[in-house]
């Protein structure tokens, strides 16, 4: 059987700097058993890809416990077969395809501009607390045609829901808090969904609300679950990715200058950010209950066990990328054009049938906001004395990013 847990993923050391443990995880403990949950952590690029590609053996059933209680129903990642194909098609319509930047570019820029404006005179901003979090919510709200005035409540409820999904261990109080947040978000969204079903507008959420599956409208509850799914998935990783991108560029002034002078490099810098520091570090799977022949890297894994795919170490696997611990926007072993599609070399968006449905939208959102910030902020540097810290085990990003600019 696979070795026990010589590296404590839930330790404060791992939370502070998980990257230092990646080489040992991959080389010594590629399938590491967690004695507490009975699950496995896997870290090699090939193994993560193999698990995520084999949805027959490695199912998303665990989301019944890990997500459904706070999502008010089943999310896309849980679905299989016809239901999955149909609903994925409905959700992806409007957030993919060629015209995305024409469709959403001005909305994204407007939000970014409005939110950075108050800081332009001050010459300083915390890109996470002052800007990023609010920006991520604003863009999601506009995408779903929800009123911005409620953004603070929505961010609070969203955070409670996200904590439930992204915690590997939770106290009873924390669970209760998340469930209350979920209920409040549901109570907020339900009347809006009902209104949009009756009087659909031209917006994305109206299209969702009136979409038909096999000639039948979805129930309010099915729509609610999809909206919660989109709200969470669009908001939670967006500000983290933005802050991670700026962190990498600020650490490498040459790269920052090159990207500022040649904006076509933003895509490569963004793709490399997703590889180097994926904002979603864990993708859970569960060995199907009737599956007796599942194995990972030669270790047999029992039916019903959890498998936590670690995107961080997989994305730095030397058998997949050369000089994997170097942030390199000129990388030739990763094709930028592919990096936001299911053919991506990195696994930040997963792979296989549940490959991130929002990858193309995320690309447009982050390219637009990066472009605008580079225009408006001019010369950027860290606030003197600023100490960089990341937080989060499941979704991970900078705690703060205090910038000074002229």
The pair of three-digit structure tokens given for residue 93, joined into one six-digit string: 């319509």
Choice between 67 and 211, CB closer to ligand 2IO: 67
Give first-to-last CA distance, the chain, whole Å.
58
CB of 356 to ligand 2IO, least distance (A): 7
Q: How far is CA 404 from CA 119, 214, 238, 242, 271, in A?
A: 10, 54, 22, 17, 25
In the range 222-251, which residues lie near ligand 2IO by CB under 6 A? 229, 232-233, 236-237
In the range 136-175, which residues lie near ligand 2IO by CB under 6 A? 165-166
Choice between 206 and 395, CB closer to ligand 2IO: 395
Which of 280, 287, 301, 334 binds ligand 2IO (CB under 6 A)? It is 280
CB of 77 to ligand 2IO, least distance (A): 4
CB of 314 to ligand 2IO, least distance (A): 14
Q: H or E stretch including 361?
A: helix 359-377
- Dump the DSSP string for 121-157: TTTEEEIIIIIIHHHHHHHHHHHTT--GGGHHHHHHH
- Determine, following the binding rule CB under 6 A, whether residue 314 of this chain makes contact with ligand 2IO: no
Choice between 81 and 298, CB closer to ligand 2IO: 81
CB of 63 to ligand 2IO, least distance (A): 6
Q: H or E stretch including 216?
A: strand 216-217
Number of residues near ligand 2IO (by CB under 6 A): 13
Choice between 232 and 296, CB closer to ligand 2IO: 232
CB of 393 to ligand 2IO, least distance (A): 12
CB of 213 to ligand 2IO, least distance (A): 19
In the range 371-400, which residues lie near ligand 2IO by CB under 6 A? 395
66 neighbors 167 (Cβ within 8 angstroms): no
Q: How far apart are CA 54 and CA 156, in angstroms?
A: 36
Choice between 235 and 267, CB closer to ligand 2IO: 235
Q: H or E stretch including 390?
A: strand 390-391
Q: How far is CA 142 from CA 10, 139, 172, 270, 286, in A?
A: 36, 5, 34, 23, 35
In the range 58-77, which residues lie near ligand 2IO by CB under 6 A? 63, 67, 75, 77
Q: How far apart are CA 32 and CA 42, in angstroms?
A: 6
Q: How far apart are CA 134 and CA 398, in angstroms?
A: 15
Binding site for ligand 2IO (CB under 6 A): 63, 67, 75, 77, 165-166, 229, 232-233, 236-237, 280, 395
């Amino acid at each position: 059987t696979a070795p026990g847990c010589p590296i404590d993923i839930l330790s404060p050391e791992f939370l502070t700097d998980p990257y230092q443990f990646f080489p040992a995880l991959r080389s010594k403990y590629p399938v590491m058993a967690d004695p507490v949950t009975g699950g496995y952590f896997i870290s090699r690029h090939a193994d993560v890809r193999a698990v995520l590609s084999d949805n027959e053996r490695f199912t998303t059933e665990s989301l019944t416990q890990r997500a459904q209680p706070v999502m008010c129903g089943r999310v896309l990642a849980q679905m299989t077969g016809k239901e999955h194909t149909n609903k994925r098609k409905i959700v992806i319509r409007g957030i993919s395809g060629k015209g995305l930047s024409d469709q959403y570019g001005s909305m994204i820029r407007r939000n970014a501009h409005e939110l950075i404006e108050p800081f332009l005179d001050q010459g300083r901003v915390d890109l996470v607390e002052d800007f990023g979090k609010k920006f991520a919510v604003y863009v999601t709200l506009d995408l779903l045609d929800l009123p911005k005035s409620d953004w603070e409540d929505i961010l609070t409820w969203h955070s409670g829901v996200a904590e439930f999904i992204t915690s590997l261990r939770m106290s009873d109080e924390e669970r209760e808090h998340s469930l209350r947040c979920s209920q409040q978000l549901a109570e907020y969204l339900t009347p809006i969904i009902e209104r949009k079903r009756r009087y659909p507008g031209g917006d994305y959420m109206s299209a969702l609300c009136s979409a038909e599956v096999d000639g039948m409208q979805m129930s309010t509850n099915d729509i609610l679950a999809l909206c919660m799914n989109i709200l969470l998935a669009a908001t939670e990783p967006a500000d983290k990715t933005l802050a991670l991108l700026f962190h990498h560029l600020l650490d490498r002034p040459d790269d920052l200058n090159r990207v500022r002078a040649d904006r076509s490099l933003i895509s490569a810098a963004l793709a490399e950010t997703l590889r180097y520091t994926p904002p979603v570090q864990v993708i859970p799977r569960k060995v199907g209950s009737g599956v007796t022949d599942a194995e990972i890297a030669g270790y047999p894994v029992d039916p019903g066990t959890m498998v936590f795919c670690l995107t961080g170490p997989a994305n730095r696997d030397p058998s997949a990328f050369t000089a994997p611990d170097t942030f390199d926007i000129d990388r030739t072993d990763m094709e930028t054009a592919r990096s936001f599609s299911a053919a991506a070399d990195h696994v930040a968006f997963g792979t296989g049938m549940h490959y991130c449905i929002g990858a193309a939208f995320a690309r447009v959102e982050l390219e637009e906001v990066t472009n605008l910030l580079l225009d408006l902020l001019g010369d950027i540097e860290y606030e003197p004395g600023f100490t960089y810290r990341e937080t989060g085990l499941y979704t991970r990003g900078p705690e703060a990013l205090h910038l000074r600019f002229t």
